[in-house]
Structure 1
Amino acid sequence: MSEHVGEDAQASANHHEVQGLDSGHLTRNQIVGLALASYIPAVGLASVPVLLLGTAGNGSWLGALIAAVATALVGVAIITFARRFVVTGSLYSYIAYAFGPWARALMGAGLLLGYIAQVGAIAFLVGLFGGSFLLSIGVSSGLDVGVQMVIYTISVLIAATIAYRGLDTSVRVAIGLAVISVPLMLLITVAVALKTGVDLSSQLSVEGATSSGIFQGVAAGAAFLVGFESCAALAAETRDPKRSVPIAVMSIPVVLGITYVLATLLQVPGLTAAGDALAAGTSPAAALAGEAGLGTNVAKATDLVLAVATFAALIGFVNFGSRFVATLAADGLLPRWSARTHPRFQSPSNAIVLISVLGLGAILLLVALNTDDIFSVYYSVATIIVYFWVVPYLLICAGAIKLLLGERRLTPVVCVSAAVGAAAMGWLYVNGIVNPPAAPVDAMSWVALIAVAALFVVFLALGVRARNRR
């Protein structure tokens, strides 16, 4: 990399740092714990298999494996930066060390839309599990649009309040909520496998599955893995970040990726048998509990536990997203006031408010526009989340190769990982066009493309204006 590019990258990265955050606060165990908790393993166990099953059928486990491997390979490219640089904007800040302002604008557009969609999708899951619990105790309106909107709003407000009070509170609550929910979901997964069997011969032969269906499933199921690098936004607030952040980043595709593959193998026969319950609006976890013969009380408890545990993901993504938003604001791409930190809690308080309002507003609007079938909203949002992250992952993979070439340290491992990871993520998007899923999910590839392109143009113009003012 030339001296000129290196100086530009360093200046850009320094500018990206959000002032006022609590430097070096999180331990390695805390950032790893928050990273894992933010992906609420129990909810992933309850959601990934059923999301894959809809299109991949007996090939669901293969879809889960492809998602895990693809994200892990992209992770190799990401930790190439994480081992070298301490930033607050995650991939947005990293790309400054490889490419020019156009790449930061494009990266920022994809990530901002992705974080907004993530917050909205997670709030939807709280509503799904909460509504299913209400149904199980006799509240027939549990899944009605009005009740669901109230649940979304309350969940985002609580998560934002916890994030507002700083990382200590966030870590304690998020990890605690995740831990209490995992044992119950593991019990249900094992119990349903013992009851219905796993039918390995059909699953391993991917009987009846198609390659296009498997990749369509990956695009939906990968929503519980994409954004796995988000914890890198906490690098400036982490002790020994150049070692701790890479471990936290890779813990998602490795630990959770493997877990979801195994869970999918164990759950698919049970989910197939519970088709009528799922069609009636019962949540996947409750349907599996019923199919396993664990009784209605366990099914009720499962929905309640998962609804509460899903707050962990909201807390995590409001924290991650707010650091990214504050970095965009410091770079002049969002209103400057959203970069301010709270003097007492040392949290990016204004950015927390902004990402929470945008995420909540997005899911409320989508549900209001689809009152006849709100469940299609989640499948659409889960898919578009993956599409929003495709461009950032392609950029960071190319950036890792360019960075190491400039340092004359490019290794076959990084080169192959970045190339294959980028190809796999790119194909997820292309497959959605070549082999489109059912409506309305089929439109998400074009919605994502148009949204990212439009915001990219806006950010490019704002970036030019911000640089001219310096």
Structure 2
Amino acid sequence: MSHTKQPEQPQRLQGRLGTAGIVFMVVAAAAPLTVIGGNMPLGIGLGNGAGAPVGFLIAALLLLVFSIGFVAMTPHVKQAGAFFSYVTLGLGKRPGMGIAVVALVAYTAIQAGIYGYIGWAIDDTIRFYGGPSIPWPLYSLVTLLIVAFLGYRHINLSAKVLGIALVAEISIVVLLDLAIIVQPGPAGITFESFAPSTFLNGAISVAILFALTGFIGFESTAVFRDEARNPERTVPRATYISVLIIGGFYAFTCWAFVVAIGPDSVLDVAQRTLAGEGNMLLDTTNDYLGRIGRDIVNVLLLTSLFACVLSFHNVIARYQFVLAGLKVLPARLAQIHPKHESPSTSSLVQSGTALAVLAVFALFGVDPLVGVFGSMAGVATVGMTILMFTTSLAVIVYFARNPEHRQGRTWRTLVFPALACVGLIGAMALVLSNFTLVTSSGVGLSTMLAFIPFVAFIVGWIIGTKKRAILPG
């Protein structure tokens, strides 16, 4: 029997990220411009037309309710790892390991999807300006190498890159929104989107569904706990600010586009966009900001996708790092680079994993949008809903078992988490009942994809039963 002495505590990352730095990382993962260009036409065209802004508001409200319990438990969760750490502390090792595997699968899926999307987008942009058509996997590979370079280094470098990209993309959309308000469309400044007769007309459930997919990554505030200044204050602030910024930005911009196009015409414009007969975002930008504005937005769409994939790379690398430090994954993944103070080995492994997944898609000639992005976004959406539901349940159980930590905060520790559980069950029903819309695939393949996160949870539960990990809880 081996008597090798194990360290009492796993190594921890260090950093100086403030609230703004974490917010940049999180909002960048949500890829605001990508959502405006992709999810918004989907919510309008397949959902409730001019009432789609309400879908974003409802999604934001649900995640805000979820965040109340999430934040209330944050001071008691000393380990980085986001959902995994919360569920382990609240529900135990086996559910915690189940959620850890679900998280890795969900984040890996959405990252692979974004790599496919950005490969297609770069090729589409170059061809639009008269350049040659090059297979999308080559563009995805170049992007992956740049992400690997940045991810290997200190988190502050990634935060700076993400901050620049994020400020640029939000600035151009805010400028577009203001231009629309100054010179509204044919119906003028209208609030018809928020009239019940409008937002309840059509499939509001579909609008909510695509709004929810636009928030993936907002919870990663807790992943950067060890690299944050004063995490007990920074993480809660960053969580609330991220939800409010993302939700408000989405809803306001979606409403601005209804104003620009007109509530009677926006459904038709969105549907033509989905049919490939136009581009709601770029065409509207061209109308209000001219060709230069259109070109800028086109470029920033690419930087938005890049910021998104870099952010998810950092999240996955840190999940692996934490799990390795707890003896769940190989110990080498818990190494910290002596110079860059980053989870360098975990980052390299993450890059290798992403490369392997992309190679499979490229080898089989999978379509980068419908096949890669659509299917992987579907897997990630199911996984994220499972993660948030289980975390809300963990909050309820934790405070029930530790009443001394409630401090009279029944609403924050019981009522809001319970409401979040109910809302997330409803969200899961929306996702699964409309899953073919998310994946753009048939029922058979969509069903198989939807089961992947559930299978991941079972696999993690089994690992948690057998693995002698040093997990809390």
1:288–1:432 Cα change, 3 Å: same
Query: How many Å separate the matches in 1 of 2:209 and 2:74?
Result: 26
- Between the aligned residues of both structures, percent identity stands at 20
Secondary structure, aligned partner of 1:83: helix
Q: Partner residue of 2:411? A: 412
Structure 1 residues 213-232: aligned runs within 5 Å = 213-232=203-222
> Following superposition of structure 1 onto structure 2, how do residues 322-361 of structure 1 map, counting pairs within 5 Å?
322-361=317-356
Cα deviation 1:332-388 (Å, max 9, x = unaligned): 443333222222211111221233333454355446656467345433333332211
Secondary structure of the residue that 2:76 maps to in structure 1? coil
CA contact (8 A) 1:326 1:338 kept: yes
Q: CA–CA distance in 1 between the matches of 2:346 and 2:282? A: 36
Match of 1:107 among 99, 124, 149: 99
Shift of 1:112: 0.8
1:316 aligns with 2:311: yes
Contact 1:433 1:445 in 2 (8 A): no
Q: Distance in 1 between matches of 2:84 and 2:445?
A: 23
Query: C-alpha displacement at 1:430, in angstroms?
Result: 1.7
Query: Do residues 50 (structure 1) and 41 (structure 2) align?
Result: yes
Against the structure 1 CA distance between its residues 378 and 76, is the aligned structure 2 distance closer, same or farther, given a 3 Å change threshold? Answer: same
- 1:468–1:131 Cα change, 3 Å: closer
Which residue in 2 is equivalent to 1:160? Answer: 148
| Alpha-carbon offset, residue 148 of structure 1 | 1.9
1:341 to 1:446, Cα distance in 2 relative to 1, 3 A: farther
* Conserved 8 A contact 2:62-2:420: yes
2:97–2:464: 8 Å Cα contact kept in structure 1? yes
For residues 190 and 364 of structure 2, the distance between their equivalents in structure 1, rounded to whole angstroms, comes to: 40
Shift of 1:274: 6.4
| CA deviation vs aligned residue, 1:295-354 (integer Å, no higher than 9, x gap) | 333222211122124322222221122111112223344333322222221111122123
Q: Is 1:33 paired with 2:24? A: yes
Q: 1:116 aligns with which of 108, 122, 125?
A: 108
Residues 13 and 341 in structure 2, CA contact (< 8 A), matched pair in contact too: yes
Q: Judge which range, 159-168 or 25-34, deviates more.
A: 25-34
Match of 1:136 among 128, 132, 146: 128
Coordinate RMSD, CA, aligned = 3.0
Tell me what 2:4 maps to: none
1:151 lines up with 2:139 in the alignment: yes
CA distance change for structure 1 residues 385 and 458 in 2, over 3 Å: closer, same or farther? closer
Q: Deviations over 1:414-450 (max 9, x none)?
A: 4232122222222222234445544517567633553
Contact 1:367 1:377 in 2 (8 A): no
Out of 177, 186, 203, which is 2:174 matched to?
Answer: 186
Report 1:12-411 matches (<5 A): 18-22=10-14, 24-58=15-49, 59-139=51-131, 141=133, 147-191=135-179, 194-195=184-185, 197=187, 200-201=191-192, 204-205=195-196, 207=198, 213-268=203-258, 270=261, 272-273=268-269, 276=272, 279-280=275-276, 284-290=280-286, 292-363=287-358, 365-366=360-361, 369=364, 371=366, 374-375=369-370, 377-408=372-403, 409=406, 411=410
8 Å contact kept, 2:25–2:163: yes
Q: Distance in 2 between matches of 1:205 and 1:254?
A: 23
- The TM-score with structure 2 as length reference comes to 0.84
Quick one: structure 1 residues 169 and 372, their matched pair in 2 at CA, closer, same or farther if it must change by over 3 Å? closer
Q: Helix, strand or coil for the counterpart of 1:294?
A: helix
Cα 1:365–1:264 shift into 2, 3 Å: farther
- Unpaired runs of 5+ in structure 1? 1-13
Q: Does the 8 A contact of 2:98 with 2:459 survive in 1?
A: no
Q: How has the CA–CA distance of structure 1 residues 234 and 281 changed in structure 2, closer, same or farther, with 3 Å as cutoff?
A: farther
CA contact (8 A) 1:130 1:304 kept: no
SS in structure 2 at match of 1:467 = coil
In structure 2, relative to structure 1, the CA distance for the partners of 1:123 and 1:460 (3 Å cut) is: same
Q: Deviations over 1:436-465 (max 9, x none)?
A: 544517567633553223333433333333
TM-score, reference length from structure 1: 0.85
CA offsets per residue over residues 258-292 of structure 1, 9 Å max, x none? 211111112246464365466337655323223x2
In the alignment, is the contact (CA less than 8 A) between 1:76 and 1:418 conserved in 2? Answer: yes
Paired residue secondary structure (2:55)? helix
Q: Summarize the Cα distance change of 1:443–1:350 in structure 2 as closer, same or farther, 3 Å threshold.
A: farther
Unaligned runs of 5+ in 2: 1-6
- Contact 2:98–2:464 (Cα < 8 Å) also in 1: no
Structure 2 residue aligned with 1:458:
459
Between the aligned partners of 1:456 and 1:422, the Cα distance in structure 2 is 18
1:420-439 to 2 correspondence within 5 Å?
A: 420-434=419-433, 437-438=436-437, 439=440
198-207 or 121-130, which moves further after superposition? 198-207
Structure-2 change in CA distance of 1:391 and 1:38 (3 Å): closer
Do the aligned partners of residues 278 and 255 (structure 1) sit closer, same or farther apart at CA in structure 2, a change above 3 Å counting?
Answer: same
* C-alpha distance in structure 2 between counterparts of 1:284 and 1:86, whole Å: 45
Q: Aligned-pair distance for 1:165?
A: 1.0
Residue 138 of structure 1: SS of its match in structure 2? coil
Q: Give the 3 Å change call, closer, same or farther, for CA 99–63 of structure 1 in structure 2.
A: same
CA spacing shift, 1:132–1:460, aligned 2, 3 Å: same
Determine the C-alpha separation between the residues in 2 that align with 1:115 and 1:468: 22
Structure 1 residues 196 and 132, CA gap change in structure 2 (3 angstroms): farther
